[in-house]
Chains A and B, each alone.
Chain A
Amino acid sequence: MKLSLTRRYSFPASHRLSRAEWSDAENHRVFGKCANAHGHGHNYALEVTVTGSINPATGMIANLTDLDSFVRARVLDDFDHSNLNEQIPEFRDTIPTTENLCRVIFRRLSRFSHARIERVRIEETAKNSFEYVAETAPSRETAEYEFQEEHS
C-alpha cells in the first residue's frame, strides 16, 4: 500500500493579475476583475502532501512539528498577510495566478529532508483549487531550485 500524509494551512494574501506591457483594456479583457489596479485578496488554503514509509519508532511518515516549522519558515512567514506581487521575489516577473503560486510554493518546499513532498494543493476560494504534483522522476523543478539556492 502507498501512504501519504496531508497537512492543511491557510494564509490571507493579496495579488493583482496583469502584464505591464499590455494596455489596461487588454489586461481587463484577459484577467477581468483580477486586473483592477489596486489588487484584491483571498484566504488561500494550502495543502501539503508528503509520502514515505512509516518510521516504526515514531509511527510517522514525518513529524508534524518538523513539517509545520518547515512550511512556516519557507512559506507562511513570507506569504501570510503579504502582497504577492510586491513582496514575493518569485512574482517579480511572473503573474501570481494560483497555478504559479502552486509551483512557487512547491519549489520552496521541495527540499524537506524528512519526507518526499508529493503534492501542493491550493484553494484560492471554495470554488477554485489548483494542484502541483511532483514528477515521478527526480523533478526538474527541484533540481532548478536546488541549483538556484546553491548559487545564490
Chain B
Amino acid sequence: MIKLTRKLEFSAAHFYHNPKFSAEENRRIFGKCNNRHGHGHNYVLEVTVAGEPDPQTGMILDLNELKEILDREVTARFDHRHLNYDVSELAGKIPTCEELVAVLWRILEPAIAPRIHHGRLDHLRLYESPDLFVDCSRNGQ
C-alpha cells in the first residue's frame, strides 16, 4: 500500500463560546479564544490517501482530481470564512481544531472514496499553528 499526501492552506476566523456556560466560565475555560470579536489562523491541512497504484497510470488517484475535490470541498467552503457563522456543519459545536478536523473527515471521506478504486482516505492532519495540530484517522489505526 502506498500513501500520498496533498497539503493545502486556508485562513479562517473563530471564537469559542458555550451559551450554557456563564460569562465567567467561558472566560476561564476558553481564555483569549472567548473574545467574541473572534481571531483567525492560517490552517494547514494535510490529506493522505492510501491505496495501490493503478497499473495503467502508476497513480493511486489523479492529483488534479484530488486538487479539484479539495478546492471545492475545503477551500471554497472554509477559506476566508468565519467558522462560527459560515460553516453549517459546525453549528452548535465549539469550532476547535478537533471538531474542525472531524467535520473535514466527514466531508472528504465520501468525496474522495468514489475516485479511488483500490484505496481510501487514510489520514488528515490539521495544523492550527506550527505548535498545535490534530490528527484524524480511521478507527482502529
Q: Real complex partners, A and B?
A: yes
A-to-B contact residues, CB < 8 Å:
1-9, 49, 54, 56-61, 63-65
- A54 contact from B18, B20, B102, Cβ within 8 A: B102
Task: Decide: A3 near B95, CB < 8 A? Known: A54-B102, A57-B18, A63-B29.
Answer: no
| B69 at the A interface (CB under 8 A) | no
| B68 at the A interface (CB under 8 A) | no
**C-alpha gap A7/B137 in the complex (Å):** 18
B-to-A contact residues, CB < 8 Å:
16, 18, 20-21, 29-31, 93-99, 101-102, 105, 130-141
Contact between A60 and B94, CB atoms less than 8 A apart = yes
Q: Kindly count the residue-residue contacts between A and B in the assembled complex, taking CB atoms under 8 Å apart.
A: 67
Contact between A1 and B132, CB atoms less than 8 A apart = no
Residue of A nearest to B28 (CB): A65
Residue of A nearest to B140 (CB): A2
Contact between A5 and B97, CB atoms less than 8 A apart = yes
Chain A residues with CB under 8 Å of B95's CB are: 59
- B29 contact from A4, A7, A49, A58, Cβ within 8 A: A58
- A6 contact from B18, B135, B137, B138, Cβ within 8 A: B135
Chain B residues with CB under 8 Å of A64's CB are: 132
Chain A residues with CB under 8 Å of B131's CB are: 7-9
